[in-house]
Every structure is written in C-alpha cells, then in structure tokens.
Amino acid sequence: MHVKFWGVRGSIPAPGPETSRYGGNTSCVEVSIEDEVLVFDSGTGIRKLGLDLIKRGKKPIAVSIFISHTHWDHIQGFPFFTPVFMPGNAFQLYGGKTFSASLEECLDGQMQHPNFPVMLRQLPSTLRFHNLQEGESLTIDLNPEISNDPIHVTFERLFHPNGVFSYRVDYKGKSIVYATDNEPGGPEFDRRLVKIAQGADVLIFDAQYTPEEYPSKKGWGHSTWLDGVKVAKRAGVKQLVLFHHDPERSDDELDSIEAQARAQFAGTVAAYEGMELNL
Ligand SMILES: [Zn+2]
Ligand SMILES: [Zn+2]
C-alpha cells in the first residue's frame, strides 16, 4: 500500500509564501495498491494527481474516487482533473447521499453554465456513480495475475454539517483510514470513529483547529489535533496523520502543532503536499 498526499489544506486553497512547505491545495489523497489507484476526495490537489496519472502512461486510466462529502474543498478540483476529459478512461465515483443531493448532482451542479464551460454529462470518459448506504461495505478485486486478495473498503458516517463519510481501506493485513471533516459529536459518532479507526496502520484525521481555537468554532464540523491524538490512542492506531489544515495556518505554526502532538503521541506527522507513506 502506497499513500501520496496531493492536497492537505481545508476549506479553501491557501497558496503563498507562508504555506509553501505544507502546501495550499485542498484535500486529495491517493492510495495505490498493486496496480489499483484509489483516490480520496477531489479538492484542488487532484489536478496534479491527474497530470501524474497521465505521465505514468497506463491506458486507459481507471481509478476509483471516494468522496467524503461535497463541500467545495472536497470536489472543486474535479473539473480540472484532466483524465476525465480523455475518451476511454473510466472512473468509479463513490459517495453518500448528502442532505438533499447525490454526489452526481453535486458534481453536476458545480459544472453548470455559467460557472464552468463544460458540463458533467459532456465529459467523454466513463463516470459511474455509486451512492453508498450506511452499513454497506465493498470489495475491489485486483487483476488475478497480480493478487487474489481483494481490497476491502468500509465507511462510517461521522458528525459534520451536511454529513460526511470516513473510509477505511484494508488489504493483506494493512489498513488506512481517511477521516477528515468531523467533529466530536456525541457518543454515537465518537463510537463510529473509534470503530473505523480500530488498529489501523494509518489514521488521516481532520486537525483543522487547535484546542485553544475550538471553543469559538464549535459546531463548524472540525476537530483539533488533540482530538486526533485521543482517537489514535483509543483506537490503537500506529500512525496519526494531521490533515485538513486551516487555511490561516502557516508552515511555522504547523511545525509547532506537529511537535505538540508528537509529545503526546509519538507516531504523529503533519501531512504536507507530496508526502508519501509506504505500508
Ligand atoms: Zn473540508
Ligand atoms: Zn466539510
């Protein structure tokens, strides 16, 4: 399992000299398993992933994209994901039905005239949408010449305005959890979070706020780095990745947050654009 971070910022892209080390692109994480590519969210980071997929030269490009939820910072890169403009490529898109619309309706909505010149239905590649239901799980079979072990993907709905799904990928005893945009939301949601993160090798977690900032941001749907540390300990995860950095957070502030979190949970790292993990 190979993980690469293409966008680690929350809420809105935050380019500039203060954020150049951690990066300004919004949420996008690639998980590669053998020759399968799974993508988590299509924030602006997905633009560069798309160019990289083309450069890798595999044709056609076939990728599974899992969307946590349809807030802008998780879908806004999709119209700039070049592989969807290439005939022959095929994409499986997974998401839950949010408050009032499906994933397809939300991606379609952001590409309507006059907001974008090309509409979703005009894209020449194949897009297949899957509306995930709570309690479901899915398996992705690999090319049998490569492996007979399937990839397992499970998900849990967590607490966030308009709803959010967290995802867990399991393959050959290794596991990674993508749990961005969630706020401690009472015993039921907290139980689900610990359940999906249980024993994971890597937990990618929403660490938008500091504990000092949180009281004035209560109800906005995000956690603190300290919440991440607590979940990592309770769920027995090996590595905690602080993710979805606040757009106001400078590189120096992120260095300090990483150090504070490490003092309480040694296996902590603050995600930066281009960071890679091998499991
Ligand atoms: Zn977000
Ligand atoms: Zn959100």
The pocket of ion ligand 2, defined by CB under 5 A, consists of 71, 181
Distance CA 168, CA 184 (A): 19
Distance 83 CA to ligand 1 centre (A): 23
Return the percentage of the chain with pLDDT > 90, whole number: 95
Q: How confident is residue 100, by pLDDT bands cut at 50, 70 and 90?
A: confident
Distance 73 CA to ligand 2 centre (A): 7
Q: Identify the nearest ligand to the CA of 160 by its number.
A: 2
pLDDT digits (tens, 9 = 90+) for 60-77: 999 999 999 999 999 999
Q: How confident is residue 99, by pLDDT bands cut at 50, 70 and 90?
A: low
Question: What is the pTM (predicted TM-score) of this model?
Answer: 0.97
Distance 108 CA to ligand 1 centre (A): 19
Helix (H) or strand (E) holding 268: strand 268-270
Q: Domains of the chain, with CATH numbers?
A: 2-278 (3.60.15.10)
Distance 181 CA to ligand 1 centre (A): 5
| Contacts for 19-24: CB closer than 8 Å, 24+ residues apart | 19/249, 19/250, 19/251, 20/251, 21/251, 21/254, 21/272, 22/245, 22/249, 22/251, 22/254, 22/270, 22/271, 22/272, 22/273, 23/272, 23/273, 23/274, 24/247, 24/273
Distance 32 CA to ligand 2 centre (A): 24
